[in-house]
Amino acid sequence: MNGPAVKELLERAGAAPRRSLGQNFVIDPNTVRRIARLAGVGPEDRVVEIGAGLGSLTLALAETGAEVVAVETDGRLVPLLREVLSPCITDSDQPSVARAAVAQSPAVRSAAEPDAVAQRPVTPGPAEPSAVQVVHADARRMDWDALLPGSGWHLVANLPYNIATSLVLTVLDEVPAVTRLLVMCQREAAERLAAAPGSGAYGAVSVRVAIHADAELAGAVPATVFYPRPDVESALVRITRRAPTIEPILRNEIDRLVTTAFAHRRQMLRRTLRGAVDDADHTLAAAGVDPTDRPERLGLDQWIRLAEVSLAARTRG
């Protein structure tokens, strides 16, 4: 969908982009096809898209033959989204799994119910090239388990800048059904998600991602492909979940330590972790970590070892 088509749809609905929802719509067909290609999805895949907007990326994903669940929180856009996707939309406006996901949350239900237009059944067109389900819900509150049955889901999305990092971390922490992600977000956020130890972007977010998955930058996206045009640069990040190996109690301890340490990332660990662990110098040395190191130098293995030593000391105490 190009720029004039997007603007015409919005004007017809009297729906200006909302800054509060981080709405910047992709208006370049080549960009959405590129994203779908980089996602590596095809006819045997199931994809969930968060923030479907007016369906530009949704259409590109459907063109691959993948089954797509398109989630949109803005009730003004849902009827427009269904109109754009009518050739490949499923035969009910709220599929059974989608209804279950929305019904779990009063916050989501109250947002969805007043939108009478969005609740009207949609006459299905031919499922060409693949089936798409449109779900009117807030991804921050919906029941992911009900929405995404089974496993092996892909998450592909142009994420609003204001929720991108928190949503990715929530999916990695709480939605094991999603095994691969390709998300577009603000360039600085993408760099933090994929950063390696020792880099300027490496921080607590990078460690939290590394606990679950491997992440890499997949390309830059110019501001010119969006409407309205954002003031910041965007980038794509690819995240591939690994089989879980870290127990929840250890993961929580890692999270506690990295949150404390990166609050003062330029200071030495012996100083930043003072009070967070018993005898910081001794604990760091027992974990094989130089007390004079800064948090940005520690890789995941070192954070794991430090958390293990810290937990053992607290247990003995």
Mind listing the pLDDT tens digit for each residue in 268-311? 999 999 999 989 999 999 999 999 999 999 999 999 999 999 99
- Higher pLDDT pick, 253 / 1: 253
Weakest-pLDDT range from 27-36, 120-129, 230-239: 120-129
* pLDDT band for position 317 (cuts 50, 70, 90): low
Does the structural domain 248-316 have CATH classification 1.10.8.100?
yes
The length of the chain is 317
- What pLDDT, on the 0 to 100 scale, is given for residue 172? 98
Predicted model pTM: 0.86
The stretch 183-190 carries a mean pLDDT of: 97
Beta partners for residue 50, in sequence order = 71
- What pLDDT, on the 0 to 100 scale, is given for residue 90? 63
Highest average pLDDT, of 84-88, 127-131, 166-170, comes from 166-170
- What pLDDT, on the 0 to 100 scale, is given for residue 103? 41
- Higher pLDDT pick, 230 / 242: 242
CATH number of 3-241: 3.40.50.150
What is the share, in percent, of the chain residues with pLDDT greater than 90? 71
* pLDDT band for position 131 (cuts 50, 70, 90): confident
- What pLDDT, on the 0 to 100 scale, is given for residue 5? 78
Count Cβ atoms below 10 Å from residue 303 Cβ, excluding itself.
Answer: 24
Weakest-pLDDT range from 31-40, 98-107, 115-124, 232-241: 115-124
Sequence ranges of the domains in the chain: 3-241, 248-316
- What pLDDT, on the 0 to 100 scale, is given for residue 108? 35
- Higher pLDDT pick, 244 / 101: 244
- What pLDDT, on the 0 to 100 scale, is given for residue 105? 40
* pLDDT band for position 23 (cuts 50, 70, 90): confident
The stretch 161-172 carries a mean pLDDT of: 95
- Higher pLDDT pick, 160 / 210: 210
Weakest-pLDDT range from 100-104, 156-160, 176-180: 100-104
Q: How many CA atoms lie within 13 A of 150 on its CB side?
A: 8
What is the share, in percent, of the chain residues with pLDDT greater than 70? 85
- The average confidence (pLDDT) of the chain is 86
Highest average pLDDT, of 2-11, 63-72, 99-108, comes from 63-72
* pLDDT band for position 102 (cuts 50, 70, 90): very low
